[in-house]
Amino acid sequence: MRTDFWKRFWKNKIAVVGSCVVAVLFIISILAPWIAPHDPNEINLARVLAAPSASHLCGTDQLGRDVLSRMIWGARISLKVGFVATGIAILIGAILGAVAGYYGRWIDVVIMRFVDIMLCFPTFFLILAVIALLEPSIWNIMIIIGLTGWMGVTRLVRADFTSLKERDFVRAARAIGAGDLRIIFIHILPNAMASVLVAATLGVAGAILTESALSFLGIGVQPPTPSWGNILTAGKDNIDIAWWLSLYPGLAILITVLGYNLLGEGIRDSLDPRLR
C-alpha cells in the first residue's frame, strides 16, 4: 500500500511541485546562519531604504538592514510557528476526535457541541483578543494558534473512528482482551492518520499565514526578530519609495502557503481510494 501511495504521489505533478517548494524552504531555514549574506539585525544608516543591488539583492529596510537576510531568517520563524502550532492542534484534535468517535453517546455529544461552539467564534479575532491580553511573543503565538485550530482535525478523526471501530480487526482486538486505550492508539488511530496528515499539511500553511498577519499588525513576532510579517509592516510604511519591502516578503508568504497547499492536495489525491 505504501508503495502504491508513493507511485501515485510522484506521478502527481501538484504534489511534486508542493514537496519541492516545502523542501527548499526547509533547507533554507536550516542553513540560514550560513547562507544569509548579512547579519539580519545589523543596522547601517548609510544604506537606509537602498534599492536592490549586487550587495543587497532584495534591498534594505528603514534601518539599513539587509532584507534578503531577514527573509531567510524569517523563514525559520515561520516554519517554527507552523510546525509547533499545527502539532498542538493535531494533538488536541486527534485525542478529542478519537474519544468522541470511539465511545460515542453522550461523550460524543458533549465534545462535538464544544467543537460547534468553538467554530462559532471567528478564529482570527479570537486570537487577536487573546494576544491583546498576553505579552506578544513567538511562544504565545504558537500556543494560541494551536489552541484555536484543532476543531477541523477533531471532526476528521471522529468521522474515521466512527467508521473504523466497527471493523473486524477492532472486534478481533476486543476478543483477545485488548483495552480501550490500546485499541484507540494502536489499532484504530494509525488507520485514521491519512486524513490527519492532510489536515496537518494544510494546517501548517494556515498557521504561517496567521503568524504573518499578526506580525504585520504589530502583535506577533516582535522586532528586531525578523519575520515576514514585520518586514511587510515596514513595507506598508514606505510603500511609495521602497516597493521591495512589500514585494519580496509578500512573495515568500505566497509561495510558502501555496507550496504547503499543493503538497496537502497532492497527499489527499494520492490517498484517495477512488484514484487507485
Stretch 23-39: mean pLDDT: 90
Task: Please answer whether residues 204 and 260 qualify as being in contact, where contact means their C-beta atoms are separated by less than 8 angstroms.
Answer: yes
- 60: helix, strand or coil: strand
Alpha-carbon distances, residue 132 vs 125, 135, 177, 217 (angstroms): 10, 8, 51, 12
Gap between the terminal Cα atoms of the chain: 10
- pTM to 2 decimal places: 0.86
What pLDDT is stored for residue 272 in this prediction?
60
Stretch 158-174: mean pLDDT: 82
Stretch 135-160: mean pLDDT: 85
Of 133-137, 185-189, 232-236, the range with the lowest mean pLDDT is 133-137
Stretch 235-262: mean pLDDT: 88
Alpha-carbon distances, residue 232 vs 10, 115, 240, 275 (angstroms): 35, 34, 13, 41
Cα–Cα distance measured from residue 102 to residue 185, given in angstroms and rounded to the nearest whole number: 11
Stretch 248-253: mean pLDDT: 91
Domains of the chain plus CATH, in order, are 2-38+62-275 (1.10.3720.10)
Tell me the pLDDT tens digit for each residue of 36-93.
888 888 888 888 888 888 888 888 888 889 999 999 998 888 888 889 999 999 999 9
Cα–Cα distance measured from residue 29 to residue 228, given in angstroms and rounded to the nearest whole number: 13
Task: Specify the DSSP class assigned to residue 187.
Answer: I
> In terms of pLDDT, which residue wins out, 231 or 132?
231
Task: Please answer whether residues 96 and 111 qualify as being in contact, where contact means their C-beta atoms are separated by less than 8 angstroms.
Answer: yes
User: Residue 269: pLDDT above 80?
Assistant: no
Task: Specify the DSSP class assigned to residue 15.
Answer: H
Stretch 182-189: mean pLDDT: 81
Cα–Cα distance measured from residue 274 to residue 222, given in angstroms and rounded to the nearest whole number: 47
Query: Helical H runs in 121-243?
Result: 123-133, 138-147, 151-164, 168-175, 180-182, 193-216, 228-237
Q: Which amino acid is at 248?
A: Y
Task: Please answer whether residues 244 and 67 qualify as being in contact, where contact means their C-beta atoms are separated by less than 8 angstroms.
Answer: yes
Is the peptide bond preceding residue 33 cis, with omega within 30 degrees of 0?
Answer: no
Stretch 203-215: mean pLDDT: 87
Mean pLDDT, the chain, integer: 84
Tell me the pLDDT tens digit for each residue of 217-234.
888 788 788 888 888 888
